[in-house]
Amino acid sequence: MEVWVVRALSGISYGALLFILSSGFTLALGMMKIVNIAHGALYSVGAYLAWTMWQRTGSFILAMMVGALSAAICAIIIQRGLLRRFLLQPLPQILITMGVLLIIVDTALAIWGGHPRVMTQPKFLTGATRFGPIFFPTYRLFVIVVAAAVALFLWLFLEKTRVGALIRACVDDEEMARGMGVNVARLFIFIFGFTGLLAGLGGAIGAPFLGAYQGAEFDVLLLSLIVVILGGLGSLRGALIASLFIGVLDSIGKSLFPQLAHFTLFGPMIIMMAVRPTGLMGKA
């Protein structure tokens, strides 16, 4: 029984990291209608720079801040310099962000090489926490707590603040928002930068978890797409439910049927698209 509880907790911690990563992707796609193929590359930027800062300073907090902010700056440059001319044009967005992804991948390869970079856990998060007869890694519990804090912050920010109300107004009727004097362009820069911040934060937190490696950008992008499809376009609540579901299913599925690892990820997505194309919480 204890083994299954540990596996479930491992899946929840993995799902928590997926939520941090996919929440930015679903905000960009659901609210701004931007297909950001470079989202996974922003994870790599955050992970690599967090690892570098950790190696040089030994400060976990500073590593998290540098990883998150660097990805946010990259996202703002992408939106301001490249994507603002192609609103509601998915094909140019895909081509541009794919090109950005490849540039980031090659740059990371030139700077950090092809070997995986895994950041060691800070001393205050090492070891295991005991829950009765169960011992569970403290760092994974930290990931769960951070994801819960991110989910609460996003809900309060989007539902209870004036900026959140403006964002929702732009999503519902952009022309009316412009007519009321809302600076939609500036608001979109802020939103897209915030999606990069979430990707970089996921990279910094995932550096001791998944690490930074060549190919991580495609893995993160694929997982984010699966979460968005299952949860529903633009739904943070759906992204949270889908992330936890995928995390637990992936953890338990790999333990029971390791040869069917890809099925545990793509099977639910295919079934959901066939039964409910809008996702769990998506709107028609």
- Where residue 68 falls among pLDDT bands split at 50, 70, 90? very high
Residue 281 inside a domain? The answer is no
For residue 108, what are the CA distances in angstroms to 19, 69, 123, 193?
Answer: 24, 17, 28, 21
* H or E element, residue 137: strand 134-137
Is the Cα dihedral 151, 154, 158, 162 positive or negative? positive
Torsion of CA 214, 119, 61, 48, to 10 degrees: -20
Cβ atoms of residues 282 and 232 within 8 Å: yes
For the cut 60, the answer to whether the pLDDT of residue 179 exceeds it is yes
- Give the Cα separation of 216 and 210 in Å (integer): 9
**Close Cβ partners of 115 (under 8 Å, ≥ 6 residues apart):** 213
Q: Which residue do the tokens 């707590």 mark?
A: 145
Cβ atoms of residues 120 and 50 within 8 Å: no
- Give the Cα separation of 137 and 154 in Å (integer): 26
Residue 262 inside a domain? The answer is yes
Mean pLDDT of the chain: 84
Residue 283 inside a domain? The answer is no
Q: What is the pTM of this model?
A: 0.89
Quote the number of domains for the chain: 1
Q: How high is the pLDDT of residue 156?
A: 86
Q: How high is the pLDDT of residue 185?
A: 74
Percent of the chain topping pLDDT 90: 26
Which residue did the predictor score with more confidence, 103 or 177? 103
Q: What average pLDDT score do residues 244-261 get?
A: 77
**Residue 15 CA from chain centroid, whole number:** 10
List pLDDT tens digits, range 192-225. Answer: 899 999 999 999 998 888 888 888 888 888 888 8
Residue 6 inside a domain? The answer is yes
- Where residue 283 falls among pLDDT bands split at 50, 70, 90? low
Q: How high is the pLDDT of residue 177?
A: 66
Q: How high is the pLDDT of residue 173?
A: 63
Helix (H, G, I), strand (E, B) or coil at 122: coil
Percent of the chain topping pLDDT 70: 92
Angle at 223 between CA 196 and CA 254, to 5 degrees: 140
Which residue did the predictor score with more confidence, 281 or 227? 227
For the cut 60, the answer to whether the pLDDT of residue 284 exceeds it is no
- Residue 220 sits in a domain whose CATH number is 1.10.3470
Residue 97 inside a domain? The answer is yes
Joined together, the tokens standing for residue 111 give 């700077």
Residue 217 inside a domain? The answer is yes
For the cut 90, the answer to whether the pLDDT of residue 1 exceeds it is no
> For the ranges 55-59, 92-96, 124-128, which has the lowest average pLDDT?
124-128
Cβ atoms of residues 71 and 197 within 8 Å: yes
Residue 282 inside a domain? The answer is no
Instruction: Provide the b/e sequence for 83-116 (b: ≥16 CB within 10 Å).
Output: beeeeeeeeebeebbeebbeebbeebeeebeeee
- Where residue 34 falls among pLDDT bands split at 50, 70, 90? confident
- For residue 8, give its domain range: 2-275
For the cut 60, the answer to whether the pLDDT of residue 46 exceeds it is yes
